């Protein structure tokens, strides 16, 4: 009898030890917090403040109903890195996760002027910088290549295609880096809020500042004086002096009724001397002029009284353009008279005339266009724009005068980026999603048809092209840890060189970017 008791006790103790270690567990985990740690925190951050994925706090989820959040967890979200979890989690677990992410955190995350200023570091002062480049290269034909696989940046000679320098960046750079008007300095923004300034002459980071906890992107003013960063957390725009990255202003984002919003993205509109801001949670588009006239005007405060900040009087006026939808992805025409904005929820492009500050047309776009990567060119004096679609395998071609869709070019799957150059007869459009993600289509810009399809590394995602200064070469990324940057002759479409890289994402040519060249992103 005693033996039986001893054995039973031993068995129970061992079972409970195993349970504690998580081994003998047969019941699936149903604690939302634990599920979050297991499945979500790598991308969305330990405290739900965001990382590679967005922050998951009630304020950031205000536009997403819990039932829709369950769908996102089950099926993933198109055009993002968010995969579906329906084969890993049962419905009870998904509901527990949703309950958890809609709970307010015990400590509300703060990132105010104090935290921002405390993060500011000047690593090299301006007077220590060399007057000339410290190496031989055409400084206007350099490429800045973001390697998202191991969070590095490579500076590439655009004539020899030899890497000049490689350095560690902050975690998950997102959006295109922006350049000073003379192309000497590059500014990067990371999803976790860091803005860095890099000197291409001396190949070093000169200053850094953390402007937010979850940042979207940044824009540089055409006069070279300012940078503006757009944040998801907190709901702010942060204006920086581009010389040393010190804070010039913090603009909490509220609509005219006082409703707070995340800032989806900020863009520069060089001929208008203004920043244009896309807002995620309110039906407004903002234009913020930074010229002297704008500075002398009284700012119509977007700041609610209780939000007043310990900053000198803010320099700029905010022009609010009311819109009928949430617009968070923008295309601009060549002279920045119009923007086309889309939202995830609708199937129309909204054309806003910026001087008039109102919508002038709707474009039926059923495939969820990725307008931010749209480009424009002329066909027999007719200006057209082209945009990939992230839910449908088509490239939409739109007449920029009539705002009519004139053609839909079928592709082998939904795409993310399209690129060209004034000197190239072709536009390069990737197939980013689905079984054909290895493919890139070459489109004849006059005939509006695909003339060739490349698949440089079978099975691996090929995407995002940037041309050299003169348009002779096209550089394509293979987004894989054992990926590559592939250089093509843009005329013969033959491969010229292949450089192994760690998941290279975007690449940016100094000339094309500083000249807001036709065919590339601005």
> CB 367 → ligand DHE: shortest distance, Å?
14
User: Among residue numbers 42 through 61, which ones bind ligand DHE (CB under 6 A)?
Assistant: 54
DSSP bridge pairs for 405: 398
Output 95 or 504, the one with its CB closest to ligand DHE: 504
Q: Using the rule CB under 6 A, is 415 a contact of ligand DHE?
A: no
Say whether 241 sits in a helix, a strand or coil. strand
Output 47 or 391, the one with its CB closest to ligand DHE: 391
Written in H, E and C, the secondary structure of 372-403 is HHCEEEEECCEEEEEEEECCCCEEEEEECCCC
> CB 376 → ligand DHE: shortest distance, Å?
15
Q: What is the DSSP letter of 91?
A: H
> CB 517 → ligand DHE: shortest distance, Å?
12
> CB 167 → ligand DHE: shortest distance, Å?
18
Q: Which two tokens stand for residue 143?
A: 């490429």
Q: Which CB contacts under 8 angstroms, 24+ apart, belong to 78-87?
A: 78/368, 78/390, 78/391, 78/414, 78/433, 79/368, 79/370, 79/390, 79/391, 79/414, 79/416, 79/432, 79/433, 80/53, 81/43, 81/52, 81/53, 82/43, 82/53, 85/39
Site size toward ligand DHE (CB under 6 A) is 17
Q: Using the rule CB under 6 A, is 512 a contact of ligand DHE?
A: no
- In DSSP notation, 293-352 reads HHHHSPP---S-GGG--SSSPP----EEEE-SS---EEEE-TTSSEEEEE-SS-SEEEEE
Q: Using the rule CB under 6 A, is 265 a contact of ligand DHE?
A: yes
> CB 81 → ligand DHE: shortest distance, Å?
5
Q: What angle do CA 241, 247, 252 make, to 5 degrees?
A: 120
> CB 329 → ligand DHE: shortest distance, Å?
6
Pick the binder of ligand DHE from 95, 217, 387, 514 (CB under 6 A): 217
User: Among residue numbers 348 through 407, which ones bind ligand DHE (CB under 6 A)?
Assistant: 372
> CB 342 → ligand DHE: shortest distance, Å?
11
The bridge status of strand 142-147 relative to strand 504-509 is antiparallel
Q: Using the rule CB under 6 A, is 148 a contact of ligand DHE?
A: yes
Q: Which two tokens stand for residue 365?
A: 């776009």
Q: Using the rule CB under 6 A, is 79 a contact of ligand DHE?
A: yes
Q: Which two tokens stand for residue 260?
A: 């707070």
Q: Using the rule CB under 6 A, is 80 a contact of ligand DHE?
A: yes
Pick the binder of ligand DHE from 48, 174, 359, 503 (CB under 6 A): 174
Output 36 or 428, the one with its CB closest to ligand DHE: 428
Pick the binder of ligand DHE from 158, 176, 183, 519 (CB under 6 A): 176
> CB 281 → ligand DHE: shortest distance, Å?
14
Distance between CA 60 and CA 213 in Å, rounded? 12
Pick the binder of ligand DHE from 236, 343, 348, 505 (CB under 6 A): 505
Distance between CA 280 and CA 261 in Å, rounded? 6
Print the binding letters for residues 459-488 with ligand DHE: x by CB under 6 A, - otherwise: -----x------------------------
Print the binding letters for residues 301-330 with ligand DHE: x by CB under 6 A, - otherwise: ----------------------------x-
Q: Using the rule CB under 6 A, is 335 a contact of ligand DHE?
A: no
Q: Using the rule CB under 6 A, is 509 a contact of ligand DHE?
A: no
Start-to-end CA span in the chain (Å): 82
Distance between CA 192 and CA 480 in Å, rounded? 22
Distance between CA 193 and CA 363 in Å, rounded? 34
Q: Using the rule CB under 6 A, is 506 a contact of ligand DHE?
A: yes
| Binding interface with ligand DHE (CB under 6 A) | 54, 79-81, 148, 174-176, 217, 265, 329, 372, 416, 464, 505-506, 521
């Amino acid at each position: 009898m005693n033996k039986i008791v001893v054995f039973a006790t031993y068995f129970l103790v061992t079972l409970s030890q195993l349970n504690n270690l998580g081994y003998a567990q047969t019941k699936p985990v149903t604690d939302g917090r634990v599920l979050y740690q297991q499945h979500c925190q790598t991308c969305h951050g330990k405290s739900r403040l965001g990382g590679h994925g967005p922050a998951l706090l009630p304020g950031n989820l205000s536009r997403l109903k819990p039932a829709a959040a369950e769908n996102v967890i089950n099926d993933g979200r198109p055009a993002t890195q968010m995969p579906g979890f329906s084969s890993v989690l049962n419905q009870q677990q998904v509901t527990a996760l949703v309950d958890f992410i809609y709970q307010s955190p015990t400590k509300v995350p703060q990132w105010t002027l104090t935290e921002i200023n405390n993060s500011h570091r000047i690593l090299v002062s301006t007077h220590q910088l060399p007057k000339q480049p410290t190496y031989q290269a055409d400084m206007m034909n350099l490429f800045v290549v973001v390697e998202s696989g191991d969070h590095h940046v490579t500076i590439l000679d655009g004539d020899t295609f030899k890497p000049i320098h490689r350095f560690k960046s902050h975690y998950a750079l997102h959006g295109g880096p922006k350049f000073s008007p003379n192309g000497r300095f590059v500014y990067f923004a990371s999803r976790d809020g860091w803005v860095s300034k890099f000197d291409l002459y001396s190949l070093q980071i000169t200053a850094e500042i953390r402007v937010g906890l979850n940042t979207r992107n940044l824009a540089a003013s055409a006069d070279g004086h300012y940078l503006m960063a757009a944040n998801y957390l907190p709901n702010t725009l942060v204006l920086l002096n581009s010389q040393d990255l010190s804070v010039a202003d913090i603009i909490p984002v509220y609509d005219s009724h006082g409703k707070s919003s995340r800032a989806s993205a900020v863009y520069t509109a060089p001929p208008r001397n203004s920043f244009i801001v896309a807002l995620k949670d309110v039906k407004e588009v903002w234009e913020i002029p930074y010229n002297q006239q704008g500075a002398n005007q009284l700012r119509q405060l977007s700041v609610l009284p209780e939000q007043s900040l310990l900053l000198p009087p803010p320099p700029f006026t905010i022009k609010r353009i009311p819109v009928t939808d949430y617009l968070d992805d923008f295309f601009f025409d060549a002279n920045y008279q119009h923007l086309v904005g889309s939202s995830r929820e609708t199937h129309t492009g909204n054309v806003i005339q910026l001087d008039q500050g109102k919508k002038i047309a709707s474009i039926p776009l059923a495939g969820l266009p990725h307008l931010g990567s749209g480009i424009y060119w002329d066909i027999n004096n007719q200006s057209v724009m082209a945009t990939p679609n992230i839910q449908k395998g088509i490239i939409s071609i739109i007449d920029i005068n009539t705002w009519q869709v004139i053609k839909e070019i079928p592709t082998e799957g939904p795409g993310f980026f399209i690129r060209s150059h004034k000197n190239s007869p072709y536009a390069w459009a990737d197939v980013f999603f689905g079984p054909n993600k290895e493919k890139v289509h070459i489109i004849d810009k006059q005939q509006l048809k695909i003339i060739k399809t490349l698949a440089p590394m079978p099975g691996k995602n090929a995407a995002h092209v940037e041309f050299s200064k003169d348009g002779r070469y096209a550089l394509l990324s293979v987004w894989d840890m054992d990926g590559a940057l592939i250089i093509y002759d843009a005329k013969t479409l033959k491969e010229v060189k292949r450089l192994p890289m760690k998941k290279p994402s975007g690449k940016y040519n100094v000339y094309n970017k500083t000249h807001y060249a036709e065919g590339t992103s601005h």
